[in-house]
Amino acid sequence: MTIDELLNQLSLAEKIAFCSGASFWKTKALPRLGIPQLLLSDGPHGLRVQADKTDHLGLQSSLRATCFPTASLLASTWDCQLIEQMGAALGQEARARGVSILLGPGVNMKRNPLNGRNFEYFSEDPLLAGQLAAAWIRGVQSQGVGAALKHFAANNQENRRMTSNSLVDQRALREYYLPAFEIAVKTARPAAVMCAYNRLNGSYCSEDQHLLGDILRGEWGFDGVILTDWAATHDRIAAFKAGLDLEMPGSKGFFDQEVAQAVKQGSLNPALIDASVRRLLTLAQNYSPRGGTELPRTRATAPPGQLRPEQPPASAAPSSSGPDPLEAQAHHQLARQVAAAGAVLLKNQAETLPYQPNQPLLVLGQLAAQPRYQGHGSSLVTPTRVDSLLDGLGHYSSQIHYAQGYRLDGRKAPELLRQAVQQAASWDGQILLCLGLPDVAESEGYDRSSLALPQVQLDLLATVYLHNPRITVVLICGSPVEMPWLPQVRALLQLQLAGQAGGLAAADLLFGSRNPCGKLAESYPISYDDVICRNCWSGPGTQVPYRESLYVGYRYYDSVRRPVQFPFGYGLSYTRFTYSNLTLQPLKQACSFAVTFTLTNSGKRAGAEVVQLYVAPRTGGSFRPAHELKAFSKVYLEPGQQQPVTLTLEPRSFELYQPGVQSWVIEAGSYQIEIGASSRDIRLETSIDLKGQKPLKDNCSDWYYQLQGQPEKVDFVSLYGDYPEWQPPRRGEYDLNSALRDLKHSSPLGGLICGITQLVIAMKTSGKPDWHNARFKMLMLSAQDNTLRSMLLFHPSRFLKKLVAGLLWLTNHPGHHKHQKFS
């Protein structure tokens, strides 16, 4: 049957029910029509299918899968081909487990380096993030598995993510926070887009007509499924009107009666429900499970929207058999290749690296033996195997000595420190020190509190340096850290969160069997005091004004020429590259150019260079960053090899968004074209003059032109419009959209529920409340940030409805509850 014929077979009640999940990870099936359930699964760098069907929160281990490097490292590869290859491997493993939709990738911008989930996002630059996301999606979907691009949109912090309200001016939204999604949607056509928890300019993303309807579906032409993040539904009727199709997880019909009543009363057009069902039926047909473990080895040949006849309806039960040994080994080696391509050599004084074969090394630091290779939260993967740094080094040298040096939980261990320093003092050779952030420092569910490394690790470095300065540091973390200790080390390799084969990849780079070719996908500030949005991010309230507008990351640092520890796009190699012969050729389309130059490997090793093209407007009109990345390429060259490189500029490379006319325009005037090895290392440049709209100054505060000091509310109001200051909720104002954390101090019952929640989570994780335990901390803070409505959606029951109703009444009406009944 066609989609329309299937649709005609359904009653209104069936249609409404079909638009919400059957369970925590599955969509609803329509057995009488041959429509299967679909199994959805995290995550962006490895499959997380829970082994225990009742373990919805991931308290126990998931089925084994390859743990690839996280997105922060993937972005540092700047290699779309390699990321597409990794995406295909993810799709193969998903298909083998019966997974139809993989929840990824995440393309939220890195507004602030303290975002606890930055390891799961690509970059501070939307072009780089968008193109890498598109490659990931193409790879996954080539295997007949759908991708769910997330989290749409302006979801840039973890603290209070369920209730925060991102206040973003239209230019920043359209030019900075949305383009990564736009690129991925238009060029890769993901099966689904997942909306974010937060509000955007006052509207929850799950019901934002402008965001979902006007932009995503209207302007970008997205015809796939829009689904909620888990329990992110607030007003289901408004969500249907905005174009949201699928409520996840299943809430046992929580909204169904309300939706049916709205249709009956004429306040909801049933055609909107039909449109959602039509998209869900198409999704089910395109991505129905095979029901087995055989992996597709070739790209899917059927175009989106057509039923693949070789895929009959099947159940969405995950396969519990382990991964094929040959496939597991191949994917482990691919993970190793990706990790090596994305690790970034940040310092190499006097060519300390690479080490010589069988070179004696003293290795210090617990992370060398107990690697941290992924972030915490919904993306946590149970790997097929893990190779530590010590494992990797053992492949290259038989003279590896090790001392732990510190505890990963941050607790002081004087004896470990003494032993490590004693060995370093007597060691007449190179020291390899492994430093980084522990699990509890960066995670989904909460934001980081500092850019500093743990003090016990800083103590080890400082003390060892006094006795032996021949130190190389391998840094393991998913986001930037402050480095006041940088002068004390001779070489620094940023390994990031490198996946299960990261230890092998690090050894490959340290001993020179691979040449470092990664480049930073985000700026590393010297201090958190240099971060422009530090005073208007992740505060105690739910209102988050994006006062800095377009000036995020290098767009700010380079505009004000502020010193940074390492600039965007930076990375060293064991070889050298020279740039020459820049030419600019107009193309047929207006305001389009082919930019060509010669790249030469002038060193003695084969290697890859990431060439970056920036456009610097000189029109004198609207405020804009000093320059922005508009094209890039990763070029592999043998020693002495020369190669012409051509990058393309399109009209969008020069455009800005004008909110007054709601369109993209090019300002007439001069534009500098810059070719560089990083945003601060421009090797070639030229300029062009473009015809276009007459440049006009924006009617806003001078701050956006002069960038002096911090942007204040008065500056942002001139750009965004006025808005009230956030006020803590008061008695009488609490409702289903209130977070549990807000009620725990306002009601004895709220405090009691928080206490019980803490005990339950402690019993399921560490056995007792332990804020040094990443899983306990993540689950506890996430629970406190949950709204009462999301609690009901996660655990729909008559008892919980009564409990929540009672909690709200007691909080809003203290002293008036003696004879109140909750039905």
3-state SS track over 179-244: HHHHHHHHHHCCCEEEECCCEECCEEHHHCHHHHHHHHHHHCCCCCEEECCCCCCCCHHHHHHHCC
Rounded-to-integer distance, Cα 488 and Cα 334, Å = 34
CB 446, CB 116: distance < 8 Å: yes
Of the candidates 403, 404, 405, 571, which has an alpha carbon nearest to the alpha carbon of residue 492? Answer: 571
Phi then psi for residue 687, to 5 deg, are: -135, 155
> Per DSSP, what are the bridge partners of residue 149?
193
CB 527, CB 482: distance < 8 Å: yes
Q: Is 644 exposed, middle or buried (0-12, 13-18, 19+ CB in 10 A)?
A: exposed
Q: DSSP for 316-364, please give it.
A: -PPP-SPPPHHHHHHHHHHHHHHHHHH-EEEEEGGG--SPPTT--EEEE
Instruction: Show the tokens assigned to 666.
Output: 């090019």
Rounded-to-integer distance, Cα 99 and Cα 141, Å = 12
**Cα→Cα distances 664→511, 619, 700, Å:** 50, 16, 19
Q: Pick the catalytic residue: 79, 125, 229, 439?
A: 229
**Cα→Cα distances 677→125, 576, 600, 616, 674, Å:** 16, 11, 13, 16, 10
Q: Three-state DSSP class for 633?
A: strand
CB 88, CB 139: distance < 8 Å: yes
Phi then psi for residue 428, to 5 deg, are: -105, 65
Q: Three-state DSSP class for 552?
A: coil
Q: DSSP for 31-93, please give it.
A: GGGTBPP-BEEB-TTS-B-BSSTT-TT--SPBPEE--PPPHHHHHHHT-HHHHHHHHHHHHHH
Radius of gyration of the chain (CA): 27
Rounded-to-integer distance, Cα 508 and Cα 490, Å = 19
Please enumerate, as own/partner, the contacts of 419-426 that have beta carbons within 8 Å and a separation of 24 or more: 420/364, 420/460, 420/464, 421/460, 421/463, 421/464, 421/467, 423/362, 423/364, 424/362, 424/364, 424/464, 424/467, 424/468, 425/467, 425/468
Phi then psi for residue 507, to 5 deg, are: -65, -40
Rounded-to-integer distance, Cα 718 and Cα 623, Å = 13
Q: Is 352 exposed, middle or buried (0-12, 13-18, 19+ CB in 10 A)?
A: middle
Rounded-to-integer distance, Cα 507 and Cα 339, Å = 11
Rounded-to-integer distance, Cα 428 and Cα 548, Å = 50
Rounded-to-integer distance, Cα 543 and Cα 201, Å = 9
Rounded-to-integer distance, Cα 492 and Cα 495, Å = 9
Q: Can you say whether residue 307 is alpha, beta or left, with left for phi > 0 and alpha for psi between -120 and 50 degrees? A: beta
CB 656, CB 175: distance < 8 Å: yes
Residue type, 551: Y
What's the half-sphere exposure (Cβ side, CA atoms, 13 Å) at 227?
Answer: 34
- Catalytic residue at 229? yes
**Cα→Cα distances 717→174, 242, 547, 622, 660, Å:** 18, 28, 9, 17, 16
Q: What is the side-by-side order of every strand in the sheet holding 669-678? A: 628-637, 607-618, 669-678, 681-690
- For residue 643, what is the enclosing H or E element? strand 642-649
Rounded-to-integer distance, Cα 188 and Cα 179, Å = 14
Residues labelled as active-site residues: 229
